[in-house]
Chain A
Amino acid sequence: MKKLKNIEELKDFRDKCAEKFSGPDKIRIIVGMATCGIAAGAGEVFDSIAGEVMKLGLGDKVTVVRSGCMGACHAEPTVEISIPGEESVLYGNIDSQRAKVLVKNHIMRNEVVTELVLEKAYETIS
């Protein structure tokens, strides 16, 4: 990557990045990995999800992402799944076992695992 030289280059690059991360066939599984998440075991959860995604051959469709704090520290580790065209779903109190269930049910069968859902109680400014 060479340096961006002006605003046009930045805009082009932004559009390219946006396409890369949020195309219509891009499923994102986000694992909250701030200090508290990691202390609660988010590292293992991430590995478990990444492993399951590989095992089930979902590597092309699904990106597993390490993010910062999602705000629900009381329910760490937290995982958010967003499928294009659908409302994203926030899950709490995930361990490596439950992580696999999420991948199987939510991604493979498109079934929300209701008993682990946390209410997403915020809006984001655009």
Chain B
Amino acid sequence: MAKIIYVDHEGTERAIEATNGESVMETAIKNSIPGIDADCGGACACATCHVYVDDAFMEKVGKPEDMEQSMLDFAENVQENSRLSCQISVSDELDGLRVTTPESQH
């Protein structure tokens, strides 16, 4: 179990107890976190699950793989700390992870 903190574009925080092995995207969708569409359901095919990872967790979360990176290059408002949340798998390591969701995925 790990606690994930979702911060929406207005700064509102929601802390969710996430299940290990599920993705940061799935946890968000099951808990109706706003700002994530995740149209492809985690297939790394749609780039509508873009989030910003808190700097303190950048290392633990790791670098995106090639496919994800090239999808991210085309997302709106990409930053250094951008990730596709369907590609981040929840584990004990990530307890306390903060991610910010954009206003919209388009």
Q: Do A and B bind each other?
A: no
Chain A contact residues, CB within 8 Å of chain B: none
Chain B contact residues, CB within 8 Å of chain A: none
